[in-house]
Structure 1
């Protein structure tokens, strides 16, 4: 489902809210005591976390690792890579911070959000998603509330690179327009929680029509993902960043920019000038459309 699990703690933090109580206890122990988790045998881990040994092993498999040893190996690799790095200061903003501190911490939040979003993408599987955009008769972006802004942004950017796209941000319009979907249409839904009723209903209509459904969401398990053919994860966990909205918005905007760039690169993969920048390609295409229009 296009999830990169190589950055263990980013992945676990992102799915934390979806876990049941015992699994969440294991996940929180990993996030707060990564070094101890790697070093302790399963029996000792069982005592410290207060769950059974079998529960720990099942947890590792449930979240996508082969077992406890596999998860420990990935986590140990990650810790070794970071051993020489200086940990950043907290992004939390305090009343006594200077204006420069506030600006720097917001910038830190944006940088961390983008990097965490990248870490969650399975780059090997993205090609299939890009091909869906290329092959689609039309692309329908749906979102409600703040995610509706992402849907409109995606529509505008995709139209500019030649992908016939529309955006719907209210239940009435979604229901009316998506009732006429065809199997070769693509429906892309933005929803941080994956539970927005209007967006979930849009996917039900798309499923009925046989259209491909791509969810761009923060949650790995949700009503939206149950209806999706594929999903891409965004970041913006309120427990980890200074407020949830900026992280969510930045992560969604990054994903839109990334998809649009990949679509453009795919369309021009056979060009005679591989050194041509994406900016130059888009300018030439815009001039060509205006001259023929």
Structure 2
């Protein structure tokens, strides 16, 4: 399993909620003062954050870097490539906002979420993940609440691509169906927190049967990912007033759309001209099937 840390601040912002108090303090300082962090030696950074030098080094390694120097190098490279050094964030909506302001803030949230999700994608694992979908005997999507809606959307889109899929959004049906898993099945779990008990249990059942497990989650450090064979990270956060936010769902839907598009491109690549768009190729395939029929 791997995580795309190319966009350092987006990555740190997404794992913030899963960190302990001390690590969260360091992470928050990096997000708030990125330009200052790249200039500070470890001793000064420890003083600024109120922790020990060893804690700074452990934090760097805990979140996937070889050390503080590696983290600072990636952060500096990111800052030099940007003119705007502020971390993208979803704008707050206030009671006295106009309707136009509310609409534009929601639109900006969606745009930011999609860009952050792209930034979190590790493109090196997309091909092997796609191949799992194509070779699996059956794909079973699981999710509860808002993530259950993503599971059903994924099922419908994959079935339209000819990939035998099902979705389970309640504990009883999920437990019943996953008891009959085979080793060549694929189980895909949607969970923003990575801690939903029913979804984590689905991976435990899949593990017993030897089925491959793909997690689509916001948190790289969670009980779900400890059981996963690989994972794809989503962006977005749950709003304190709104529960599961639109950003969370948009990020999950984006991952589904991206995987389906990659599967379609792979399926059509060997049988068609690369100069045609996917839409044109699908129309040609449909005409070919209707003519043959």
Encode CA deviations 1:198-242: one digit per residue, 9 max, x unaligned: 111111111111000000011111111111101111111247999
Query: Structure 2 vs 1, CA of residues 85 and 217 (structure 1 numbering), >3 Å: closer, same or farther?
Result: closer
2:11 aligns with: 11
Show structure 2 runs of 5+ residues with no match.
Answer: none
Query: Structure 2 vs 1, CA of residues 282 and 241 (structure 1 numbering), >3 Å: closer, same or farther?
Result: farther
What SS does the aligned partner of 1:147 have?
helix
1:43 aligns with: 43
What SS does the aligned partner of 2:107 have?
helix
Q: Is the 8 A contact 1:109 1:247 kept in 2?
A: yes
CA distance in 1, matches of 2:86, 2:34: 17
Calculate the TM-score normalised by the size of structure 2.
0.93
2:21 aligns with: 21
Whether 2:106 is the aligned partner of 1:106: answer: yes
CA distance in 2, matches of 1:285, 1:109: 37
CA distance in 2, matches of 1:86, 1:13: 12
For the aligned residue pairs, the C-alpha RMSD in angstroms reads: 2.2
Show structure 1 runs of 5+ residues with no match.
Answer: none
Count, aligned residues: 293
Whether 2:80 is the aligned partner of 1:80: answer: yes
CA distance in 2, matches of 1:44, 1:86: 22
Query: Structure 2 vs 1, CA of residues 242 and 171 (structure 1 numbering), >3 Å: closer, same or farther?
Result: closer
Q: Is the 8 A contact 1:142 1:188 kept in 2?
A: yes
Calculate the TM-score normalised by the size of structure 1.
0.93
Whether 2:160 is the aligned partner of 1:160: answer: yes
Runs of 4+ in 1 over 4 A off after TM superposition: 84-90, 239-244, 286-293
Alignment of 1:97-246 (within 5 A): 97-238=97-238, 244-246=244-246
Encode CA deviations 1:7-66: one digit per residue, 9 max, x unaligned: 001000101111122211110110111111111111111111111111111211221112
